[in-house]
Structure formats: structure tokens, C-alpha cells
Structure 1
């Protein structure tokens, strides 16, 4: 999310078949100048899309693709009854906020929309816990044995990036890490190709933004 969004009006799309629920959600948007509803035929312009369902399952998550095919689409789901879907899959589909209908309040709804528009997330504690357990399992059982982390960058790639960021030449990095200079080049340029990074400066910028260094 561009930094300018912090001062811009959040554009909200509402995809809710039930006319009564939809009207209620739309009325809440009119109470806060930070947000505004956009027409359904301009859903592709939305910063956040609100979807209300009784039960979240694999089918409900798959239907999100029909609502918006943007790769960076962000959804807030208002859930009436049950959550029966994989939370990691939901996040992969663009779900960034979940509100239980029986605990729903307008202030919470509006706060969640702004949080998600600014690049954050908002999930009930139980779903947060499940997501953290899945992340922990993936790190421990899948990534760590392969020398990777959640970003897909290996530990030795992080070491090289950190030294590049410090201004070290490849020959100096090779000495510090006890690698050959050829190996350092292989590590660095392999990472740049895989992550589609244009040059060393771009690689360092990516590492900083990702919290790797």
C-alpha cells in the first residue's frame, strides 16, 4: 500500500447478496470520512472488498476470485456461523480481515477496513493462533530443513545480502564468509534472478523491505 493511502479515502467495495445486510454495511461507511463505497462495477478499483457469508469453506474462498481477479485484492470477511477453511489458504486468497457477525460493531468494522487498507491485518484471536501455528509448522518442518525462511530466501543468501548492504565488495564478502568469490556471485545473482531483482541496490532494498536485514 502506497504511503499516500494513509491520508487518502479508502475505497470500499461491498459484495453481499443479501440486500438488507448490504444496506447496513453501506450505511456504516457513510459515518466515517476515511472510507467511501464504490459501485459494484468498479470493484477492481477497491482498496478493500467486504464479503459477508454464513460459513467460510474452500468453496467460499474460491469464489473470491470471481469477485476480484486482482492479485493484490484485499478482502474483509464478515462471517455469520462457522469457519471451515484453511486460514493460510484464506490469506493466500487475499483475506486480510475477519469479523464474526455476532461480535460485529460499526467502529470495529470501520477500524478493520482502514487497517487492511494500510497493509495490516485483523483476525479474531482463534484464527490468529491457528495461523501462527501453521507458520511455525511450515518453518520447522518445510523451510528450515531446506535452509530457507518464510520469504523463500536462504540463510546464506541473507548473509550475502547483509554484507552487500554494508558496502562490501564480492571479494571481501567471500573472505568473510569463507566462500570463493565465484560462490558469492552464484548466491547473489541466483537470488536476484529468482526474485526478479534488477541489480544489487534493488536486492538490498528488497531485503530491507522484507525484514531480512
Structure 2
């Protein structure tokens, strides 16, 4: 994926339309069903999600090990070590984007999930068929999805790590340019490409190029991971 040729649909975005604040993500019309595979350690959990998605014309269900799926729905109780291993493997071996349905998730595990390339998170209690399809659609279009309260937890955890871990040990040593810092800061605030370009008087292509160079430098898979990494390192 090149910065100059990429479209917004190819770029994972963490923006206000993708974050739950009492409404679902904004979804552009689609003409073809999205190929989806569902995985879970618990067969009953997988069967429940498959039953929710099977009647929906927006998705095409594939086998749970099908590597050609556009979106993987991973069902887990929490983001434990096994889940992180799965996410890293998916990140390394495929271009499939991942939606995590979690029973419980805290800010620390949220940061780990973001760094492992997760594209969307939804709590199991909120995973109604309609909401789940909305999140799958959003992720397939290149957006990220994160409930608003989890975003608040993420920001709080980032501040704690900076104050209690990075700052006292002088670990905030990674350098980024002022341009990268401003783009990442606005991205973390929920701005999309067009909004960032307008705020900084850049072109959309320049914004994408700045982000791509940052992600290439630190081998980050998408925008969500870039924001999480920048926050963890105290860069923004």
C-alpha cells in the first residue's frame, strides 16, 4: 500500500464516526457481501455469532480457518496471551482485518490489542446482529471501531504509563518530526484524513504520506496501532 495511491477505504481510521457515542458507526453503501470468518476457543461462542450473522445479506460466512476472509471476527473472554498471539499471527501472515468480540477488556489489554493490529472491538453484551454487522462494515471499509468509554480508558492508561513508567525512566527518547506529531495528535483526537489536512493546511496525500512513513519506520500495521504506539511512547 503506497501513501500516494491509497484511498481512504484502504486506510484504517480512528475517528468520531467510528467510535460509539450512543450511535453506530457511519456506513457507506456496499454492493457485495463482506467475506467473514468467525473464530473462538469455545465452540458454543462461535456457533452463537455464526447464528447471528448467517441471516444477514451484508456478510458471506466462510470457514473458521479461511485465510481469504476480508474480516475475521474473533470471540474471546478477554485479551489474554493466547489472543495476543493469535492477533500477532494474523497481523504477520495476512491482510485480513480483525474485529474482537470480548466479554471483558481493560485499558492495558486495549493497548495491547491495538498494537497487535486489531481494527475493531465490541463488547459481547453489545454485539447484537445489527451492531455487529455495522462494526464489520466499518472495519471492512478501512475504519476503526472503539466504544467511547474504552477510548477514555485508553487515554487514561496512556497518561498513567507516561507519568509512572516512561517519564521517571527517561524512556521518551523516540523522536518524531513536528509534522508527524501534529498529524498523530489530530488522529488521536478522532479526526479523519480530510479534517487533519484542513486543520494543518496540508493535502490529503501529504497526511497519508506522513502517516505511512511513521508506520513504516516502526513497523506498525495501521493507523490505530500508530496512535496506540505514539501514545504509549509519550510522543503525543
Distance 1:2 1:134, change over 3 A: same
Matched residues in 1 for 2:158 and 2:104: separation?
A: 25
State which of 88, 99, 106 in structure 2 corresponds to 1:83.
106
Which residue in the other structure is 1:147 paired with?
Answer: 177
Q: Structure 1 residue 209 and structure 2 residue 233: aligned?
A: no
Q: Secondary structure at the match of 1:40?
A: coil
C-alpha deviation, 1:75, in angstroms: 1.2
- Which consecutive residues of structure 1, in runs of 5 or more, have no partner in the other structure? 153-161, 163-203
Q: Which has the higher helix share?
A: 1
Contact 2:88 2:117 in 1 (8 A): no
Closer/same/farther in 2, CA of residues 99 and 14 from structure 1, 3 Å limit: same
Looking at structure 1, the residues matched to 144 and 113 of structure 2 have their Cα atoms a distance apart, in angstroms, of 12
1:38 matched residue in structure 2: 62
CA contact (8 A) 1:12 1:48 kept: yes
Q: Could you tell me how far 1:15 is from its partner in structure 2?
A: 1.1
106 and 64 in structure 1: CA distance in 2 versus 1, 3 angstrom threshold: same
Q: d(CA) in 2 for partners of 1:150 and 1:35?
A: 37
Q: Which has the larger radius of gyration?
A: 1
Match of 1:121 among 128, 141, 144: 144
* Preserved contact between residue 107 and residue 157 of structure 2 (Cα < 8 Å): no
Q: Structure 1 length as normaliser, TM-score? A: 0.59
Measure the CA separation in 1 of the matches of 2:66 and 2:79. 25
Counterpart Cα distance in 2 of 1:126 and 1:54: 18
Report if the CA contact (8 A) 2:107-2:150 is conserved: no
CA apart distance, 1:7: 3.0
Runs of 4+ in 1 over 4 A off after TM superposition: 132-138, 141-146
Deviates more, 1:121-130 or 1:63-72: 63-72
| Structure 1 residue 59, shift from structure 2 partner | 4.3
**Aligned counterpart, 1:179:** none
Spell out, residue by residue over 1:73-128, the C-alpha distance to the aligned partner (whole angstroms, 9 max, x if none): 32111111343644333223121211212233111111111111111121122221
Instruction: Name which structure has the greater RCO, CA cutoff 8 Å, separation 6+.
Output: 2
Aligned residues: 160
- 2:61 counterpart of 1:14: no
Q: Which runs of 5+ in 2 are unaligned?
A: 1-8, 12-28, 185-196, 198-202, 212-236
Separation of aligned partners in 1, 2:100 and 2:146: 10
| Aligned-pair Cα RMSD in Å | 3.7
Distance 2:91 2:177 in 1: 35
